[in-house]
């Protein structure tokens, strides 16, 4: 029988009821089998022998391939595992009091990520766990607990760790801060080498080949395919992908060019001692890449079908109102009188400034198509029939705020582990813990 994690009161009552039922129905001299036992009482919870046994199996499976001299003795290992379960119990109790729940969808995604990290499909991962003598159901339960504990830790540390403005300023002004907050670039690369003793004619021939590849790329050829076929660079078989690098980690000949490129741009041929290079910027991230935010200001009129207005009538009303606006009637007046969007109607349909991706796909697509001040055609979304007007576009520079957040997160991560250990000692010292386990 497996007793799931419940509050201590519920679990103890369940145990007493089970014992009474067994005693009432058993013969006078029956032999009783112990199903489970409490090995530790932790505040309002208990740790069961079955939980300890499961955790021990999991740890031993992880240590299976470790050298014998690196595996702790059984008594030491059991003590460490039990201490981990005690602290975990305290954290899970906090999670329950805070109402932290992990949905099945979140858990499934986490299991999928763990499988992928082990380069396995989910069914393969399940078989691998069971091959190690572990239960996949128990594994899911443990991952769910770890996710709840992680959320508790993140929440507590967010409140405990304070980063001052001066700390952030000092960090950004340091060499480490400049490196840590520098933008990163993901670059693909094709190298056409030139022999060390090449003459002018040979050099011109390689350059001509590089220019031919560049033309193919601009005409739509796939960079990855050409890299695999033509490049002599070390990353050729990966499609020339150099991975994520900061500007200072790029080859010197690229470091001044790449920061000025847009994602998807191809440059070359670039001459170096080794030959001619073609590069493509696959992606970029960081303050300059993500701090410059394109925004659009939009106003809309929404006509919803209702119980007294059919879908066809809603469409016809939207088309009629659009015609009035196109013929000169004030857009804001029509929105205030007729729009069924309560969030924007009173402000003349104005939705304010929004970055790309803020709207539903159908709405977003129409926003991107429209020129400033142009009245869109009537279109449908799940909410009803809309027509809109783009009233402005701009690019806002949030790079300073982005870099400041990077610095704060970096400093917070530096303090996280030490502060977490301090907090764990505090909650452990202040908890009621009664260990009832026998020495192995």
DSSP state of 34: -
- Please check whether residue 177 lies inside any domain of the structure: no
Report the distance separating Cα 244 and Cα 3, nearest Å. Answer: 48
- Please check whether residue 126 lies inside any domain of the structure: yes
168-222 pLDDT, tens digit per residue, is 999 999 988 888 888 899 999 999 999 888 888 989 999 999 999 999 999 999 9
Domain identity same for 278 and 296: no
Domain identity same for 274 and 300: no
pLDDT at 275 over 60: yes
Most confident region among 38-42, 312-316, 351-355, 412-416 by mean pLDDT: 312-316
Domain boundary, last residue among 285, 319, 340: 285
Confirm if 367 and 298 have CB atoms less than 8 A apart.
Answer: yes
Torsion angle of C-alpha atoms 124, 126, 132, 133, degrees rounded to 10: -150
**pLDDT score recorded for residue 3:** 38
- List the strands of the sheet with 38-42, edge to edge: 45-48, 38-42, 433-435
Band the pLDDT of 60: cuts 50, 70, 90. confident
Mean of pLDDT values over 16-29: 40
108-123 pLDDT, tens digit per residue, is 999 999 999 988 899 9
- Please check whether residue 199 lies inside any domain of the structure: yes
pLDDT at 237 over 60: yes
The crossing angle, in degrees rounded to 10, of helices 165-172 and 399-429 is: 120
Domain identity same for 278 and 202: yes
Of the CA atoms within 13 Å of residue 213, those in its CB half-sphere come to 29
Confirm if 94 and 147 have CB atoms less than 8 A apart.
Answer: no
Q: Which two tokens stand for residue 94?
A: 């906090």
Report the distance separating Cα 317 and Cα 314, nearest Å. Answer: 5
pLDDT at 356 over 50: yes
Confirm if 186 and 434 have CB atoms less than 8 A apart.
Answer: no
**pLDDT score recorded for residue 1:** 35
- Please check whether residue 411 lies inside any domain of the structure: no
Higher pLDDT, 197 or 386: 386
Band the pLDDT of 139: cuts 50, 70, 90. confident
Domain identity same for 270 and 302: no
Domain identity same for 251 and 300: no
**pLDDT score recorded for residue 129:** 85
Residues 6+ apart with CB under 8 A from 381: 360, 362, 363
DSSP state of 375: B
- Please check whether residue 403 lies inside any domain of the structure: no
Band the pLDDT of 317: cuts 50, 70, 90. very high
Domain identity same for 200 and 278: yes
Mean of pLDDT values over 149-160: 92
Domain identity same for 300 and 274: no
For residue 233, what are the domain limits? 184-285
**pLDDT score recorded for residue 438:** 65
pLDDT at 84 over 50: yes
Domain identity same for 38 and 146: yes
Report the distance separating Cα 24 and Cα 12, nearest Å. Answer: 18
Of the chain, the percentage scoring pLDDT greater than 70 comes to 91
**pLDDT score recorded for residue 179:** 84
Mean of pLDDT values over 237-257: 88
CATH of the domain at 105: 1.10.4030.10
- Please check whether residue 254 lies inside any domain of the structure: yes
pLDDT at 5 over 70: no
pLDDT at 134 over 90: no
Domain identity same for 281 and 305: no
Mean of pLDDT values over 93-97: 93
DSSP assignment of 79-146, as one string? HHHHHHHHHHHHHHHHHHHTT----HHHHHHHHHHHHHHTT--HHHHHHHHHHTT--HHHHHHHHHHH
Domain total in the chain: 3
Domain identity same for 227 and 139: no
- Please check whether residue 208 lies inside any domain of the structure: yes
Percent helix, strand and coil across the chain, each rounded to 5?
55, 20, 30
Q: What is the mean pLDDT of the chain?
A: 86
Report the distance separating Cα 129 and Cα 140, nearest Å. Answer: 11
Higher pLDDT, 191 or 247: 191
Domain identity same for 271 and 297: no
Mean of pLDDT values over 262-274: 90
Q: Which two tokens stand for residue 46?
A: 């208990």
Domain boundary, last residue among 253, 285, 317: 285
218-248 b/e with 16+ CB inside 10 Å = b?
eeeeebbebbeebbebebbebbbbbeebeee
Confidence (pTM): 0.59
pLDDT at 81 over 70: yes
pLDDT at 328 over 90: yes
Q: How many other C-beta atoms lie within 10 A of the C-beta of residue 93? A: 19
**pLDDT score recorded for residue 247:** 84
**pLDDT score recorded for residue 55:** 87
**pLDDT score recorded for residue 33:** 61
Domain boundary, last residue among 285, 317, 335: 285
Band the pLDDT of 73: cuts 50, 70, 90. confident
Band the pLDDT of 265: cuts 50, 70, 90. very high
CATH of the domain at 299: 3.10.50.40
pLDDT at 11 over 50: no
Domain identity same for 87 and 190: no
Band the pLDDT of 12: cuts 50, 70, 90. very low
Higher pLDDT, 6 or 175: 175
- Please check whether residue 298 lies inside any domain of the structure: yes
Backbone angles phi, psi at 379, to 5 degrees: -140, 160
**pLDDT score recorded for residue 439:** 56
Range from 5-9, 331-335, 344-348 carrying the lowest mean pLDDT? 5-9
């Amino acid at each position: 029988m497996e007793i799931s994690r419940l509050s201590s009161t519920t679990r103890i009552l369940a145990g007493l009821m089970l014992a009474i039922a067994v005693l009432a129905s058993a013969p006078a001299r029956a032999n009783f089998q112990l199903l489970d036992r409490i090995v530790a009482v932790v505040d309002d919870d208990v740790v069961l022998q079955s939980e300890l046994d499961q955790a021990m199996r999991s740890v031993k499976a992880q240590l299976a391939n470790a050298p014998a001299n690196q595996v702790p003795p059984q008594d030491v290992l059991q003590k460490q595992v039990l201490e981990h379960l005690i602290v975990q119990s305290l954290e899970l109790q906090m999670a329950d009091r805070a109402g932290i729940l992990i949905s099945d969808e979140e858990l499934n995604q986490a299991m999928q990520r763990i499988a992928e990290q082990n380069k396995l499909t989910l069914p393969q991962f399940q078989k691998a766990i069971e091959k190690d003598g572990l239960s996949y159901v128990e594994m899911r339960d443990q991952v769910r607990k770890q996710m709840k504990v992680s959320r508790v830790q993140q929440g507590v540390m967010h409140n405990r760790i304070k980063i001052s403005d001066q700390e952030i300023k000092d960090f950004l002004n340091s060499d480490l801060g400049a490196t840590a907050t520098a933008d990163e670039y993901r670059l693909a690369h094709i190298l056409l080498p030139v022999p060390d003793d090449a003459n002018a004619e040979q050099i011109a021939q390689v350059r001509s080949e590089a220019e031919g590849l560049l033309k193919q790329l601009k005409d739509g050829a796939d960079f990855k395919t050409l890299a695999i076929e033509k490049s002599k660079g070390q990353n050729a078989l990966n499609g020339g992908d150099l991975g994520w690098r900061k500007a200072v980690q790029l080859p010197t000949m690229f470091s001044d060019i790449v920061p000025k490129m847009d994602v998807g741009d191809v440059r070359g041929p670039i001459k170096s001692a080794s030959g001619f290079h073609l590069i493509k910027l696959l992606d970029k991230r960081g303050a300059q890449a993500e701090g410059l935010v394109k925004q659009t200001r939009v106003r809309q009129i929404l006509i919803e079908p209702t119980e007294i207005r059919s879908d066809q009538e809603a469409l016809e009303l939207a088309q009629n109102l659009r015609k009035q606006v196109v013929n000169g009637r004030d857009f804001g007046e029509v929105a205030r009188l007729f729009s069924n969007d309560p969030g924007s109607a009173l402000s003349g349909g104005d939705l304010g400034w929004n970055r790309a991706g803020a709207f539903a796909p159908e709405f977003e697509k129409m926003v991107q198509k429209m020129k400033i001040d142009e009245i869109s055609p009537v279109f449908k979304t799940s909410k009803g029939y809309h027509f809109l007007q783009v009233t402005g576009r701009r690019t806002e520079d949030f790079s300073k705020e982005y870099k400041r957040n990077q610095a704060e997160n970096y400093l917070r991560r530096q303090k996280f582990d030490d502060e977490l250990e301090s907090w764990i000692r505090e909650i452990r010292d202040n908890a009621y813990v009664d260990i009832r386990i026998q020495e192995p």
